[in-house]
Amino acid sequence: MAEQKATNVTWHEHHVSKEQRCQQNGHKGAVLWFTGLSGSGKSTIANTVDHKLFEKGKHTFVLDGDNVRMGLNKNLGFSPEDRTENIRRIGEVSKLYTDAGILVMTAFISPYREDRDQVREILGDGEFIEIFVKASLETCEERDPKGLYKKARAGEIKGFTGIDAPYEEPEKAELILDSDGKGIDELADEVVAYLESNGYLTYP
């Protein structure tokens, strides 16, 4: 689905640059890509980080996997091909947010390493922050906030990540969060601290 099908199209340059938008916002634009198993805490951590940054006056937004599948990606299922297209689309949307000088948090299982790396490639240096929300399968099954693991174990859901579909852990994540042993607020603080120490919350 990534093939360019539209013809007779021309890129239109903007009068306001990315740098000007970041200057006005007072911080850099970047993608905080939360990846991990279902139940690892991706969405909860992302939303907590969003709240903390909002309270600091930063321009932020959260793209959540389930929410996006109810709109932009509602025509996609969970086959390997559809999962890849799901992430490709989110990558492109995230790039738009970054170009607008916004800190966008994405909370998607995004199980395939190649798909995540392709998103990294379309962004500028330092604009893709891969955050591995690390939790064991046992922990995620015990939490099972949506009851999906129970259904997968019962054979009611096919192709469920961690059960009968693979999850490829990041090899070069900028940040690894120990979701097995730490609470949500502590993990969110680790993300904010990373952004602060690496100069994302100021501009230039």
Answer whether residue 19 is part of any domain: no
Model pLDDT, residue 3: 82
Query: Both ends of the chain: CA-CA distance in Å?
Result: 37
Instruction: Please check whether residue 53 lies inside any domain of the structure.
Output: yes
Low-confidence residues in the chain, pLDDT < 70: 1-2
Q: State the residue range of the domain holding 41.
A: 29-198
Annotated binding site for ATP: 36-43
How many domains, in total, are found in the chain? Answer: 1
Q: Is residue 182 part of a domain?
A: yes
Q: Which segments within the chain are labelled E, that is strand?
A: 30-35, 60-64, 103-107, 128-134, 175-178
Residue 80, domain member (yes or no): yes
Catalytic status, residue 110:
yes
Q: Is residue 99 part of a domain?
A: yes
CATH code at position 172:
3.40.50.300
- State pTM to two decimals: 0.95
Among 79, 94, 110, 136, the active-site one is 110
Residue 108 is which amino acid?
Answer: F
- What are residue 34's phi and psi, to 5 degrees? -85, 120
The pLDDT score that the predictor gives to residue 62 is 98
Check residue 1 and give its pLDDT.
61
pLDDT of residue 95: 98
State phi, psi for 105 to the nearest 5 degrees: -105, 125
What does the block give as tokens for 183? 């609470």
Q: Is residue 115 part of a domain?
A: yes
In a domain? residue 24:
no
The answer to whether 173 and 132 are in contact (CB under 8 A) is yes
Burial of 138 (0-12, 13-18, 19+ CB in 10 A): exposed
Pick from 133, 145, 146: nearest CA to 182: 133
Q: Is residue 96 part of a domain?
A: yes
Give the per-residue pLDDT at 129: 98
Q: Which residue has the tokens 């709109």?
A: 71
